[in-house]
Amino acid sequence: MSTRQYNNSFQVVDDFSRAVGRHSFKFGGQFHYDQINERNLAAENGQYGFSGSETGIDFADFLIGAPDSLTQASPQILDSRSKYYGLFAQDSWRATADLVLNYGLRWEASMPWYDTQNKIETIIPGEQSVVFPGAPTGWVMPGDKGVPRTLAPTQWHNFSPRIGLAYSPSISTGVLGKLFGGPGKTSIRIGGGMYYTSVEDLSQFLEVGDPPYGLYYGSAQPPLLESPYLIRSNGESVGQRFPFLFPPTNVSPENPDTAFPWAQVEPISYGFSFDHRNKLPYSEHYEFSIQRQLGATTIGTLSYVGNQGHRLVTSIEANPTNPALCLQYSNNPGWQCSQFSETPPLGT
Protein backbone atom coordinates (compact mmCIF):
# COMPACT_ATOMS: atom_id res chain seq x y z
CA MET A 1 0.00 0.00 0.00
CA SER A 2 1.29 3.44 -0.90
CA THR A 3 0.00 6.11 1.50
CA ARG A 4 0.69 9.63 0.33
CA GLN A 5 -0.25 12.65 2.41
CA TYR A 6 0.34 16.32 1.72
CA ASN A 7 -0.31 18.32 4.85
CA ASN A 8 -0.48 22.02 5.67
CA SER A 9 -1.38 23.87 8.83
CA PHE A 10 -1.92 27.62 9.08
CA GLN A 11 -2.03 29.08 12.57
CA VAL A 12 -2.52 32.43 14.26
CA VAL A 13 -2.01 32.68 18.02
CA ASP A 14 -1.49 35.58 20.40
CA ASP A 15 -1.49 36.02 24.18
CA PHE A 16 -1.54 39.11 26.38
CA SER A 17 -0.53 39.48 30.02
CA ARG A 18 -0.93 42.33 32.48
CA ALA A 19 -0.33 42.69 36.20
CA VAL A 20 -2.70 44.95 38.15
CA GLY A 21 -2.08 45.11 41.86
CA ARG A 22 -2.41 41.60 43.25
CA HIS A 23 -3.82 40.27 39.98
CA SER A 24 -1.96 38.80 37.01
CA PHE A 25 -4.33 38.71 34.08
CA LYS A 26 -3.74 36.72 30.91
CA PHE A 27 -5.93 36.31 27.86
CA GLY A 28 -5.51 35.29 24.27
CA GLY A 29 -6.76 33.36 21.30
CA GLN A 30 -5.82 30.84 18.67
CA PHE A 31 -7.01 29.85 15.21
CA HIS A 32 -5.67 27.19 12.90
CA TYR A 33 -6.75 25.80 9.56
CA ASP A 34 -5.54 22.30 8.75
CA GLN A 35 -5.28 20.51 5.42
CA ILE A 36 -4.61 16.82 4.83
CA ASN A 37 -4.68 15.70 1.20
CA GLU A 38 -4.46 11.95 0.62
CA ARG A 39 -3.59 10.21 -2.64
CA ASN A 40 -3.28 6.55 -1.74
CA LEU A 41 -2.86 3.41 -3.80
CA ALA A 42 -3.63 -0.05 -2.40
CA ALA A 43 -3.60 -3.12 -4.64
CA GLU A 44 -4.99 -1.10 -7.54
CA ASN A 45 -4.19 -3.94 -9.97
CA GLY A 46 -5.49 -6.66 -7.66
CA GLN A 47 -3.62 -8.70 -5.09
CA TYR A 48 -4.12 -12.41 -4.43
CA GLY A 49 -3.51 -14.08 -1.10
CA PHE A 50 -2.39 -17.70 -0.63
CA SER A 51 -2.59 -19.25 2.82
CA GLY A 52 -2.70 -22.98 2.08
CA SER A 53 -6.47 -23.31 2.32
CA GLU A 54 -6.53 -25.70 -0.66
CA THR A 55 -3.49 -27.96 -0.10
CA GLY A 56 -2.33 -26.99 3.36
CA ILE A 57 0.78 -25.32 1.94
CA ASP A 58 0.62 -21.70 0.79
CA PHE A 59 3.31 -22.10 -1.91
CA ALA A 60 1.58 -25.21 -3.26
CA ASP A 61 -1.67 -23.23 -3.51
CA PHE A 62 0.24 -20.62 -5.49
CA LEU A 63 1.65 -23.23 -7.89
CA ILE A 64 -1.77 -24.72 -8.65
CA GLY A 65 -3.40 -21.27 -8.94
CA ALA A 66 -5.72 -21.55 -5.94
CA PRO A 67 -5.83 -18.19 -4.12
CA ASP A 68 -7.94 -17.92 -1.00
CA SER A 69 -8.53 -14.17 -1.35
CA LEU A 70 -8.46 -11.20 -3.69
CA THR A 71 -7.99 -7.59 -2.65
CA GLN A 72 -8.37 -4.72 -5.08
CA ALA A 73 -8.99 -1.03 -4.57
CA SER A 74 -9.54 2.13 -6.53
CA PRO A 75 -7.29 5.15 -5.88
CA GLN A 76 -8.13 6.53 -2.45
CA ILE A 77 -8.59 10.27 -2.63
CA LEU A 78 -9.47 12.60 0.21
CA ASP A 79 -9.06 16.35 0.77
CA SER A 80 -9.62 16.81 4.49
CA ARG A 81 -10.02 20.18 6.16
CA SER A 82 -10.65 21.35 9.70
CA LYS A 83 -10.76 24.67 11.57
CA TYR A 84 -10.13 25.36 15.23
CA TYR A 85 -11.04 28.45 17.26
CA GLY A 86 -10.05 29.09 20.85
CA LEU A 87 -10.22 31.99 23.34
CA PHE A 88 -9.23 32.08 27.00
CA ALA A 89 -8.99 34.42 29.98
CA GLN A 90 -7.47 33.73 33.37
CA ASP A 91 -6.37 35.49 36.54
CA SER A 92 -3.80 34.65 39.18
CA TRP A 93 -4.82 36.52 42.32
CA ARG A 94 -2.60 36.77 45.38
CA ALA A 95 -5.43 36.96 47.89
CA THR A 96 -3.10 37.00 50.91
CA ALA A 97 0.59 36.67 51.49
CA ASP A 98 0.29 32.89 51.68
CA LEU A 99 -2.66 32.16 49.35
CA VAL A 100 -2.83 32.45 45.56
CA LEU A 101 -6.01 31.68 43.59
CA ASN A 102 -6.00 30.81 39.89
CA TYR A 103 -9.17 30.76 37.84
CA GLY A 104 -9.99 30.96 34.17
CA LEU A 105 -12.32 30.05 31.35
CA ARG A 106 -11.62 28.75 27.87
CA TRP A 107 -13.96 28.68 24.88
CA GLU A 108 -13.16 26.54 21.88
CA ALA A 109 -14.77 25.22 18.74
CA SER A 110 -13.07 22.38 16.91
CA MET A 111 -14.71 21.63 13.60
CA PRO A 112 -15.02 17.93 12.67
CA TRP A 113 -13.04 17.12 9.55
CA TYR A 114 -14.76 17.65 6.22
CA ASP A 115 -13.81 17.04 2.60
CA THR A 116 -13.64 19.84 0.05
CA GLN A 117 -15.77 17.82 -2.38
CA ASN A 118 -17.89 15.97 0.20
CA LYS A 119 -16.23 12.60 -0.48
CA ILE A 120 -17.33 11.16 2.89
CA GLU A 121 -20.33 9.25 4.18
CA THR A 122 -22.19 8.39 7.37
CA ILE A 123 -24.98 6.06 8.45
CA ILE A 124 -28.47 7.21 9.47
CA PRO A 125 -30.70 4.11 9.60
CA GLY A 126 -33.85 4.45 7.56
CA GLU A 127 -32.85 7.61 5.68
CA GLN A 128 -32.67 7.53 1.89
CA SER A 129 -30.02 9.70 0.30
CA VAL A 130 -31.26 12.43 -2.04
CA VAL A 131 -27.71 13.21 -3.17
CA PHE A 132 -27.26 9.63 -4.43
CA PRO A 133 -30.84 8.30 -4.73
CA GLY A 134 -29.61 4.82 -5.64
CA ALA A 135 -27.57 4.39 -2.43
CA PRO A 136 -28.61 1.76 0.11
CA THR A 137 -31.05 3.10 2.66
CA GLY A 138 -29.13 4.52 5.58
CA TRP A 139 -25.94 5.30 3.61
CA VAL A 140 -25.99 9.09 3.36
CA MET A 141 -23.63 11.91 2.39
CA PRO A 142 -23.15 15.63 3.09
CA GLY A 143 -26.14 17.49 1.73
CA ASP A 144 -28.61 14.84 2.79
CA LYS A 145 -31.10 15.65 5.54
CA GLY A 146 -29.33 16.22 8.82
CA VAL A 147 -25.86 15.71 7.32
CA PRO A 148 -23.59 18.79 7.25
CA ARG A 149 -20.26 18.87 5.40
CA THR A 150 -18.59 17.86 8.67
CA LEU A 151 -20.99 14.87 9.08
CA ALA A 152 -21.49 15.81 12.74
CA PRO A 153 -22.29 19.44 13.59
CA THR A 154 -19.66 21.86 14.87
CA GLN A 155 -20.25 22.73 18.53
CA TRP A 156 -20.02 26.42 19.30
CA HIS A 157 -20.89 26.32 23.01
CA ASN A 158 -17.97 24.47 24.59
CA PHE A 159 -16.75 26.35 27.66
CA SER A 160 -14.21 24.81 29.98
CA PRO A 161 -13.55 26.34 33.43
CA ARG A 162 -10.30 25.84 35.37
CA ILE A 163 -9.59 26.66 39.01
CA GLY A 164 -6.72 26.15 41.40
CA LEU A 165 -5.10 27.39 44.56
CA ALA A 166 -1.66 27.40 46.14
CA TYR A 167 -1.50 27.81 49.91
CA SER A 168 1.49 27.94 52.22
CA PRO A 169 0.28 27.95 55.86
CA SER A 170 2.02 30.49 58.04
CA ILE A 171 0.83 28.94 61.29
CA SER A 172 3.70 28.64 63.74
CA THR A 173 2.03 27.65 67.01
CA GLY A 174 -0.06 24.83 68.35
CA VAL A 175 -0.74 21.48 66.75
CA LEU A 176 -1.09 22.92 63.25
CA GLY A 177 2.16 24.79 63.69
CA LYS A 178 3.96 21.53 64.41
CA LEU A 179 2.12 19.75 61.56
CA PHE A 180 2.98 22.37 58.93
CA GLY A 181 6.39 23.24 60.33
CA GLY A 182 5.89 26.97 60.42
CA PRO A 183 5.95 29.63 57.70
CA GLY A 184 7.47 28.55 54.40
CA LYS A 185 7.76 24.88 55.35
CA THR A 186 4.59 23.48 53.68
CA SER A 187 2.78 24.11 50.40
CA ILE A 188 -0.68 22.83 49.45
CA ARG A 189 -1.91 22.89 45.87
CA ILE A 190 -5.37 22.02 44.57
CA GLY A 191 -6.54 22.29 40.98
CA GLY A 192 -9.20 21.13 38.58
CA GLY A 193 -10.50 21.86 35.14
CA MET A 194 -12.35 20.71 32.06
CA TYR A 195 -10.52 20.11 28.78
CA TYR A 196 -11.92 19.52 25.29
CA THR A 197 -9.97 17.81 22.56
CA SER A 198 -10.30 17.63 18.79
CA VAL A 199 -11.03 14.50 16.75
CA GLU A 200 -8.06 13.24 14.76
CA ASP A 201 -8.17 12.93 10.97
CA LEU A 202 -8.15 9.15 11.35
CA SER A 203 -11.94 9.52 11.42
CA GLN A 204 -11.65 10.59 7.77
CA PHE A 205 -8.79 8.30 6.79
CA LEU A 206 -10.90 5.26 7.70
CA GLU A 207 -13.51 6.48 5.20
CA VAL A 208 -11.18 7.11 2.31
CA GLY A 209 -12.14 5.15 -0.78
CA ASP A 210 -15.60 4.10 0.46
CA PRO A 211 -18.52 4.07 -2.03
CA PRO A 212 -19.50 6.09 -3.92
CA TYR A 213 -16.09 7.80 -3.90
CA GLY A 214 -14.06 4.66 -4.24
CA LEU A 215 -14.12 0.92 -3.76
CA TYR A 216 -12.02 -1.33 -1.56
CA TYR A 217 -12.96 -4.86 -2.55
CA GLY A 218 -12.11 -8.00 -0.62
CA SER A 219 -13.46 -11.31 -1.85
CA ALA A 220 -15.74 -13.04 0.64
CA GLN A 221 -14.87 -16.48 -0.78
CA PRO A 222 -11.83 -17.90 -2.64
CA PRO A 223 -11.83 -16.68 -6.26
CA LEU A 224 -10.61 -18.21 -9.48
CA LEU A 225 -7.11 -17.11 -10.38
CA GLU A 226 -7.93 -16.57 -14.05
CA SER A 227 -11.37 -15.02 -13.36
CA PRO A 228 -11.10 -13.10 -10.10
CA TYR A 229 -14.80 -12.20 -9.86
CA LEU A 230 -15.94 -15.83 -9.97
CA ILE A 231 -16.18 -17.93 -6.81
CA ARG A 232 -13.84 -20.88 -7.22
CA SER A 233 -16.09 -23.42 -5.48
CA ASN A 234 -19.19 -22.95 -7.65
CA GLY A 235 -18.33 -20.55 -10.48
CA GLU A 236 -20.86 -17.98 -9.25
CA SER A 237 -20.15 -14.40 -10.32
CA VAL A 238 -19.87 -11.64 -7.74
CA GLY A 239 -20.23 -9.03 -10.48
CA GLN A 240 -17.70 -6.94 -12.34
CA ARG A 241 -15.99 -4.74 -9.75
CA PHE A 242 -13.37 -2.87 -11.72
CA PRO A 243 -12.56 -0.58 -13.41
CA PHE A 244 -14.12 1.91 -11.02
CA LEU A 245 -15.38 5.26 -12.31
CA PHE A 246 -15.58 8.12 -9.84
CA PRO A 247 -18.81 10.14 -9.69
CA PRO A 248 -18.79 13.87 -10.51
CA THR A 249 -17.50 16.20 -7.82
CA ASN A 250 -20.42 18.63 -8.02
CA VAL A 251 -23.12 16.28 -6.74
CA SER A 252 -25.68 17.93 -4.44
CA PRO A 253 -29.38 17.69 -3.53
CA GLU A 254 -30.02 20.08 -6.43
CA ASN A 255 -27.77 18.04 -8.71
CA PRO A 256 -28.18 14.40 -7.61
CA ASP A 257 -26.26 11.51 -9.15
CA THR A 258 -28.72 8.91 -10.38
CA ALA A 259 -26.25 7.07 -12.60
CA PHE A 260 -23.78 5.68 -10.07
CA PRO A 261 -23.63 1.82 -10.43
CA TRP A 262 -24.35 0.78 -6.84
CA ALA A 263 -24.57 -2.90 -7.81
CA GLN A 264 -20.84 -2.71 -8.56
CA VAL A 265 -19.97 -1.81 -4.94
CA GLU A 266 -22.60 -3.66 -2.91
CA PRO A 267 -22.83 -5.16 -0.41
CA ILE A 268 -21.06 -2.45 1.56
CA SER A 269 -18.99 -4.01 4.33
CA TYR A 270 -16.22 -2.74 6.58
CA GLY A 271 -17.34 0.77 5.71
CA PHE A 272 -16.22 3.04 8.54
CA SER A 273 -18.18 6.23 9.00
CA PHE A 274 -18.13 9.19 11.38
CA ASP A 275 -21.34 9.21 13.42
CA HIS A 276 -23.54 12.21 12.64
CA ARG A 277 -24.38 12.53 16.36
CA ASN A 278 -20.78 12.83 17.55
CA LYS A 279 -19.75 15.55 19.96
CA LEU A 280 -16.25 16.59 20.98
CA PRO A 281 -14.53 14.40 23.56
CA TYR A 282 -13.68 16.06 26.85
CA SER A 283 -12.19 15.19 30.21
CA GLU A 284 -12.13 16.52 33.76
CA HIS A 285 -8.73 16.68 35.47
CA TYR A 286 -8.14 17.23 39.16
CA GLU A 287 -5.06 17.29 41.36
CA PHE A 288 -4.12 17.61 45.00
CA SER A 289 -0.59 17.78 46.37
CA ILE A 290 1.10 18.66 49.63
CA GLN A 291 4.81 19.25 50.15
CA ARG A 292 6.50 19.46 53.54
CA GLN A 293 10.09 20.33 54.27
CA LEU A 294 11.65 17.62 56.43
CA GLY A 295 15.02 18.74 57.72
CA ALA A 296 17.46 20.98 55.92
CA THR A 297 17.81 18.93 52.71
CA THR A 298 14.67 16.77 52.44
CA ILE A 299 11.18 17.44 51.13
CA GLY A 300 8.28 15.00 51.37
CA THR A 301 5.58 15.09 48.69
CA LEU A 302 2.15 13.45 48.59
CA SER A 303 0.06 13.87 45.44
CA TYR A 304 -3.14 12.62 43.86
CA VAL A 305 -3.95 13.14 40.19
CA GLY A 306 -7.14 11.94 38.50
CA ASN A 307 -9.15 12.41 35.34
CA GLN A 308 -12.38 11.25 33.74
CA GLY A 309 -12.92 11.04 30.00
CA HIS A 310 -16.24 11.44 28.19
CA ARG A 311 -17.37 10.81 24.59
CA LEU A 312 -14.06 9.18 23.76
CA VAL A 313 -13.65 8.12 20.15
CA THR A 314 -14.21 4.42 19.54
CA SER A 315 -15.50 2.06 16.85
CA ILE A 316 -18.82 0.28 17.20
CA GLU A 317 -20.82 -1.84 14.77
CA ALA A 318 -23.53 0.33 13.22
CA ASN A 319 -25.20 -2.49 11.27
CA PRO A 320 -24.65 -5.71 13.28
CA THR A 321 -25.61 -9.13 12.00
CA ASN A 322 -28.76 -10.81 13.18
CA PRO A 323 -28.69 -14.57 12.40
CA ALA A 324 -32.35 -15.04 13.34
CA LEU A 325 -33.46 -12.32 10.93
CA CYS A 326 -31.17 -13.76 8.28
CA LEU A 327 -32.87 -17.14 8.59
CA GLN A 328 -36.26 -15.46 8.39
CA TYR A 329 -35.28 -13.76 5.12
CA SER A 330 -33.87 -17.00 3.75
CA ASN A 331 -37.47 -18.01 2.96
CA ASN A 332 -37.60 -15.21 0.39
CA PRO A 333 -36.58 -15.97 -3.19
CA GLY A 334 -33.09 -14.82 -4.02
CA TRP A 335 -31.91 -14.53 -0.41
CA GLN A 336 -29.53 -16.99 1.16
CA CYS A 337 -27.69 -16.81 4.45
CA SER A 338 -23.94 -17.01 4.02
CA GLN A 339 -21.36 -18.31 6.44
CA PHE A 340 -21.47 -14.99 8.30
CA SER A 341 -25.27 -14.99 8.84
CA GLU A 342 -25.62 -11.42 7.63
CA THR A 343 -28.79 -9.50 8.03
CA PRO A 344 -30.34 -8.23 4.81
CA PRO A 345 -27.94 -5.71 3.24
CA LEU A 346 -28.27 -2.02 4.01
CA GLY A 347 -31.29 -0.90 2.05
CA THR A 348 -33.01 -4.29 1.61
DSSP letter string, 93-130: EEEETTEEEEEEEEEEEEPPPEETT----EE-TTPPPS
283 in the same domain as 150: yes
| Same-domain pairing of 136 and 262 | yes
Residue 262 in domain:
yes
Q: What is the pLDDT, as a whole number, of residue 337?
A: 64
Non-local CB neighbours of 138 within 8 Å, separated by 6+ positions = 123, 124, 125, 126, 127, 319, 346, 347
Q: What's the pLDDT at 346?
A: 44
Q: What's the average model confidence in pLDDT over 206-210?
A: 85
Which residue segment(s) compose the domain that 156 sits in?
5-40+74-212+247-316
Across 127-154, average pLDDT = 93
pLDDT at 183 over 80: yes
Whether residue 126 is found in the same domain as residue 153: yes
The CA-atom distances, in angstroms, between 261 and each of 115, 134, 229 are 22, 8, 17
- Residues β-bridged to residue 248: none
Lowest-pLDDT choice from 7-16, 145-154, 182-191, 263-272: 263-272
Structural domain contains residue 263: yes
Q: Is 347 a residue whose pLDDT tops 50?
A: no
Q: SS3 of 327, please? A: helix
Q: Domain check: are 339 and 276 in the same one?
A: no
The per-residue pLDDT for 90 is 96
Which whole-number Å values give the CA distances from 111 to 81, 83, 164, 279, in the listed order?
9, 5, 29, 10
- Residue 223 domain-assigned? no
Alpha carbons 298 and 325: distance in angstroms, whole number? 70
Rounded-to-5 percentages of helix, strand, coil across the chain: 10, 40, 50
Average pLDDT value for residue range 167-194: 86
pLDDT at 296 over 90: no
**Is residue 127 assigned to a domain?**
yes
Per-residue pLDDT band for 118 (boundaries 50, 70, 90) equals: very high
Whether 310 and 268 share a structural domain: yes
Same domain assignment for residues 208 and 329: no
Residue with the bigger pLDDT between 294 and 269: it is 294
**What is the spatial distance between Cα 180 and Cα 295, in angstroms, rounded to a whole number?**
13
30 with 83, same domain: the answer is yes
Mean pLDDT score, 169-179: 80
Same domain for 255 and 171: yes
pLDDT band at 288 (very low <50, low <70, confident <90, very high): very high
pLDDT digit string (tens) for 245-283?
999 988 999 999 999 999 888 888 777 888 899 899 999
User: Does any domain span residue 56?
Assistant: no
How does residue 342 score in pLDDT terms, banded at 50, 70 and 90?
low
Quick one: 306 and 328 in the same domain?
no
Model confidence at 160: pLDDT above 60: yes
197 within some domain: yes
Residue 154 pLDDT: 93
Checking if the pLDDT of 148 tops 50, the result is yes
In a domain, 206, yes or no: yes
Res. 40: pLDDT tops 50: yes
Please report the pLDDT score of residue 338 as a whole number.
Answer: 58
pTM, whole model, 2 decimals?
A: 0.79
Q: Please state the rounded mean pLDDT for residues 38-53.
A: 88
* Average pLDDT of the segment spanning 161-184: 85
Query: Does residue 74 carry a pLDDT above 70?
Result: yes
Residue 108 banded pLDDT, cuts 50, 70, 90: very high
The count of structural domains within the chain is 2
294 and 326 together in one domain: no
pLDDT bracket for residue 348 (50, 70, 90):
very low
29 Cβ contact list (under 8 Å, min separation 6): 13, 14, 85, 86, 87, 88
Is 229 a domain residue?
no
Mean pLDDT of all residues in the chain? 88
pLDDT exceeds cutoff 70 at 56:
yes
pLDDT of 330 reads: 66
Q: Are residues 157 and 288 in the same domain?
A: yes
Whether 130 and 33 map to the same domain: the answer is: yes
